[in-house]
Amino acid sequence: MKSNLFNLACFLLILALGGCGEEIRESRTLGKSQVKASEMVLGLEMTPAEREMMMEDLADQRDAYVSMRQEIPGNSIRPALRFDPRLAWATRGVSTRYKRSPAVELADWGDPGPVSRPSSLESLAFANIGELGKLIRQRQVTCLELTDLALARLEEFGPELECVVTLLPERARQRARELDRMLDRGEYLGPLHGIPYGAKDLLAVKGAPTTWGAAPYRDQVLDETATVVRKLDQAGAVLVAKLTLGALAWGDVWFGGKTRNPWNLDEGSSGSSAGSASSVAAGLVPFAIGTETLGSIVSPCTRCGVTGLRPTFGRVSRAGAMALSWTMDKIGPIARSAADCAMVFDTIRGVDPRDPTTIEAPFSYRHDQDLTWVRIGYLKSAFDKDYPGQELDHEAMRELRFQGVDLVPIEFPLEAMGINPSDLSIILTAEAGAAFQDLTLSGRDDEMVRQIRFAWPNVFRTAQFIPAVEYIQANRHRTRLMEMMNRIFREVDVYITPSFAGESLMITNLTGHPQVVVPDGFTDGDSPHSISFVGRLYDEATLLTVARAFQEITGWHKKTPPGY
């Protein structure tokens, strides 16, 4: 038995990692027993004759792998393949038009109401973007004052929350002064003019460290600025800090510690957009930029009681961002309300030649649009499950029904389709393993803080053994999920789902659909809880309209953690 396991290990390492010691690496010969043993891992069964015929080809493939690894492309080089969430429309001849509200195509933010300068600027820590923007526009508060407020709070509470990687005081204050001078000249850049924010530290900022939250990259400085940051710069937002993320975008543990939940400092903020959610929840910045591949906006927003938008895949450029999964990574805003997320999203969306997955689509958000024209579904079987916070979600739906919303039950016909969405997670595993293969082969993955089964070092190593055929098959099943979602959105415009119970989070991250996560109460021990809304591809306007209406009904997003 031990001999078989050794043969299996050596053969898989030969194929996936280029050898099992120098003696085997230099040999062109593969043993038939190694091939046979490997079939057990891959779920295959070949005849002796078939194994005999494969031997030379397997050796050739092994040599090709080794050769290609002599020059592994950098993280910024994408594959010559492109995921397009509109594929389901094309494969079934479905119209690529998507339902939009009867609103005008330009976003309308509305008036936040009367505002006045408070006696202490500290009381603005939890003001929304609309209120802050009006104070700036009316010259009651300067851009520099807001920037200094954010920097001071980041310096005071950042160490406690372990949510800051790098403060950017010089860059921030210089930009704030420029923006104040622009206002002196009558130049106003829009609703984000002078609004401080933080960026998840997988977004490059020229001249500043971009650590990806991981020890092997803690001294990395990239000679570029991410498109999202450039767009926010151009809109007048002021970047004050690079915020923490779980190492290489998993969890809340980074090379400097564990990012904390402001509601309960004994627990982490979840992740991987850990610092973005934590800092917004604590009132250190009005908004922050996060990213999601499989829950990295939804999870920390849930834990920290804030609002997050995961846009449609391709709506926001990822140029200048760390690549984890080229077909699943998405960038979105984290803020205190859906309305604030809408303002930020309107700035960062759009086509970017540096990211060929991006497309142009309208964003016709209106602050005063009601829900009478929106068909809203709910994922019945998911809400019927027994899970923490279930009663809060049920109460949220009762609130909507009380307001006259007719909730239509929907289901994913997964059993009839014969698909287990979790099986398709090998898509993410394979792409992440490719994105960081150099880390695995060099052995520098040992520098990562988390060295457990469910952490990147182990997953990256496991990824080297995923057959290309199975990766492609998983993507074919992904197409079937996309077609399923297309059918569902013929019946509804938005559906409600538990943020975690059920299969929606996995499915929608695979299909590229947008999701808004909003707080809907507190579980035992005053821990925030959330509910989520999922919308049509590229129809963030309707999705955010529904989320905003829910927040106006409930007010949970206005709660703030004590002590901040």
- Catalytic, 325? Answer no
Helix axis angle for 2-17 and 32-42, nearest 10°, is: 80
Backbone region of residue 195 per phi and psi (left: phi > 0; alpha: psi in -120 to 50; beta: other values): beta
Lookup result for tokens 């030969």: 14
Report the chain's C-alpha Rg in angstroms: 25
- DSSP type of residue 91: H
488 with 376: CB under 8 angstroms? no
- Provide the sign of the torsion angle of the four alpha carbons 520, 523, 526, 532, taken in this order: negative
SS3 content of the chain, % helix, strand, coil (to 5): 45, 15, 40
Alpha-carbon distance 49 to 36, whole Å? 12
Q: Cα-flanking dihedrals φ and ψ of residue 265, to 5°?
A: -70, -10
First to last CA, the chain: 60
Catalytic residue among 101, 272, 276, 532: 272
**Alpha-carbon span 330 to 451, nearest angstrom:** 26
Question: Known catalytic residue: 559?
Answer: no
**Active-site residue identified among 296, 299, 317, 504:** 296
How far is Cα 119 from Cα 322, in angstroms, rounded to an integer? 42
Catalytic residue among 36, 134, 200, 330: 200
272 flagged as catalytic:
yes
- What is the DSSP track for 375-437? -EEEEHHHHHS--TTHHHHHHHHHHHHHTT--EEEE---HHHHT--GGGGGHHHHHHHHHHTH
Active site positions, annotated:
200, 272, 296
